[in-house]
Amino acid sequence: MIKKAFITDCEGPVSLNDNAYELCREFIPDGDKFFKVVSSFDDYLVGINRENYNAGNTLKLIAPFLKVYGLDNEKIFEFSNENMSLINGAKETMEYARKNMASYMVSTSYGQYIKALSDEISFPYENTFYTYINIDNSVPIKENERNLLFSFKDEILKGDFDRQEKIFFKEIPRLDIGKISENVVTVGGLGKKIAVDGIMLRENLIPKGLMYVGDSITDVEPLRFVRESDGLAISFNGNEFALKESEVAVVSDDAVVTSVLLDLFGRYNKNYCLEFVKLYSRSPQMAFENLRINFSLMDKFREAFRDREIPIVQIIDDDNFDYLLEKSIEMRRNIRGKDVGELS
């Protein structure tokens, strides 16, 4: 049997937060609107395939603004720690994964948030990949640059992509504070695929042994790689970008279903896991009764969904894509809130 590894995105499949959005909302005036506008600009740049630009670089673009509005490394960690919110069952799922196979989190989130999350769920921080930001060891902020950033923020809120192009890629880089963005190393899109490559090298894995769980535009490259390499690519309450690149869709407010899938993938193989998904989509009861499901996980699943609607778990195809997208977006909004749920 080939060696297996479980790799998951963080925000979405494990936690309910969008940490960068929440930092902007908390510390920047009109920060919620500001982050949404920059996130839309990020999507636009990814859509036009801007050279040397990856999904998730929003976290690079907003870095100087976090600095001028008073944040530093310690404050990011403290805020993240105090505002942690997990998917039901996520801690148990990550513990189960860690005990049964090589397990990693690959996230676009800032490292300070990932450290707080790792502490919360007792997950080894050394098995995480994240966006590096250091806004302590930067040059002091000049007063004229502080005022310029305040002015830029108000301009960005107007949502003019051409003006944002000039602000982010011409005007801020000329400033001393622009060095903060230069030193931010994001893990999103291609960066996540590179992280997956590093995991395979570290663990001596072949792609077929990978199970990857993602939910957003930053997971496109790793999901596509795993799916095309005959690994198991799973969308967990994914948006359109994640669903298009996944083989299996999960719509759930509890991570216990992830535990069931990773257990079957780890003990048997991808085909047996897909056999479960196919049978489950027709009759969940038959799937649990006729396949070799871990009894403990079966009990946890039944307890989690006692007297309420069970998760949707289906293989994605052209016929059910629109239905799964609708249900996934609905679940994202319900459990993460409308604002976070609609971010890409």
Report pTM.
0.95
As a whole number, mean pLDDT of residues 19-44 equals 96
Closest listed residue to residue 107, CA positions, set 83, 80, 88: 80
Percent pLDDT > 70 in the chain is 98
The per-residue pLDDT for 54 is: 86
**Structural domains of the chain, ranges and CATH numbers in brackets:** 5-10+189-341 (3.40.50)
* Average model confidence (pLDDT) across the chain: 95
Structure token pair of residue 326: 């609708």
How many Å apart are CA 325 and CA 281, to the nearest integer? 16
Burial class (CB in 10 A: 0-12, 13-18, 19+), 122: exposed
pLDDT attached to residue 1: 76
Q: How confident is the model at residue 331 (pLDDT cuts 50, 70, 90)?
A: very high
Q: Residues 67, 140: contact at Cβ < 8 Å?
A: no
42, two tokens: 């990020």
Lowest mean pLDDT among 146-155, 190-199, 335-344: 335-344
Determine which of 1-5, 125-129, 170-174, 312-316 has the lowest per-residue pLDDT on average. 1-5
Q: Please give the backbone phi and psi of residue 132, each rounded to the nearest 5 degrees, phi first.
A: -85, 130
Q: What average pLDDT does this structure show over 82-99?
A: 97
For 190-247, write each residue's pLDDT tens digit.
Answer: 999 999 999 999 999 999 999 999 999 999 999 999 999 999 999 999 999 999 999 9
DSSP code per residue over 320-337: THHHHHHHHHHHHHHHH-
How would DSSP label each residue in 187-225? Answer: -STHHHHHHHHHHHHHHT--GGGEEEEE-SGGGHHHHHH
What is the C-alpha separation between 65 and 74, in angstroms, rounded? 16
* pLDDT recorded at residue 138: 58
Tens digit of pLDDT for each residue in 38-77?
Answer: 999 999 998 998 988 888 899 999 999 999 999 999 999 9
pLDDT at 339: 75
Output the pLDDT for position 137. 63
Q: What pLDDT score was predicted for residue 27?
A: 98
pLDDT band at 343 (very low <50, low <70, confident <90, very high): confident
What pLDDT is attached to residue 20? 97
pLDDT average, residue stretch 139-147: 89
Please say if the pLDDT value at position 260 is more than 80.
yes
**What is the mean predicted confidence (pLDDT) over 272-281?**
97
pLDDT above 90 for 340: no
Cβ atoms 120, 105 nearer than 8 A: no
Q: What is the pLDDT of residue 52?
A: 85
pLDDT at 139: 64
